[in-house]
Structure 1
């Protein structure tokens, strides 16, 4: 019985420690570093494949465009930028935290999403990983000296055959 209590106390202490470290990372991301790095991947999923290939066989898309839009508290666009994916389907958005006029950008008010595919053969955006609606920058992946890095996605496109039809009046 005493061993279970000790284990329970240890688990509670670990949870508090993880929460504390998470809060430190969020505070550091808001205050440290001159730039924000946002990385991720864009992949193609083909629903015509069997389930195992569909889940595990996604291919990277070269040349897909991903954007970042950062707002202010009054919901005005303060920054917009984009990047194309490389041959591995990876993108790297780099945003200066200090904008023209000395205003500081707040990462939690930024949204990263899919913009356009490189090839229409796999060009239907999906919302797996929030690629179509956009993913907010909530928790930094890494905070080190002058570097604040966020990782989003992966985002997915699919083939036109996999697109769900749009019905009028929900029929």
Structure 2
């Protein structure tokens, strides 16, 4: 029992040292942080296996990153287009107009798809409403990278109807 307690204390101390190292790297070394991910087309008209595993990359999709200051004002906006593999990578300078951008105040979302068939944004992984940056996936020397997604577009046939819109005829009472 005593040996297990010592190992737990050593593991906790090691975690604190590593966590402080990551925090220091985020604060000092990096002047830029990167956000990357992938955008795919998921077709619900296919069979289950094709729908789950057969998503195809979409070239030319536009994604955007918006960063806010502490008073929720937009201080940075950038966008990128996906490549042949459906991948994007946006680099953001950590300092804009003399102020530090905090990655946790930034969010990334889908903007548009050039695909004439697969152009309905879904909210898988937060692509439609936007996903906030939380923890970087890579912290190495002066590289801080957030890896998001994959995000998905779908076909119009797969789009769910918006049930929050009430038909105006249903909401009116008849005077007859």
Alignment TM-score > 0.5, same fold: yes
Which residue of structure 2 aligns with residue 115 of structure 1? 111
Which has the larger Rg? Answer: 2
Q: What secondary structure is seen at the aligned counterpart in 2 of 1:81? A: strand
Runs of 4 or more, structure 1, over 3 Å off, are 5-24, 167-171
Q: Report deviation, 1:19.
A: 6.8
Which among 74, 78, 94 is matched to residue 77 of structure 1? 74
1:29-53 deviation per Cα after TM superposition (whole angstroms, max 9, x unaligned): 2443111111100000001111111
Which residue of structure 2 aligns with residue 48 of structure 1? 45
Two-structure CA RMSD over aligned residues (Å): 2.5
Q: What secondary structure is seen at the aligned counterpart in 2 of 1:150? A: strand
Structure 2: 5+ residue stretches without partners: 171-176
Structure 1: 5+ residue stretches without partners: none
1:34-86 deviation per Cα after TM superposition (whole angstroms, max 9, x unaligned): 11111100000001111111110000000000000000000000000000000
Q: Report deviation, 1:21.
A: 3.6
1:1-171 matches, within 5 Å, as 14=11, 17-18=14-15, 21-22=18-19, 24-100=21-97, 102-167=98-163, 168-169=165-166
Instruction: Report how many residues are paired.
Output: 167
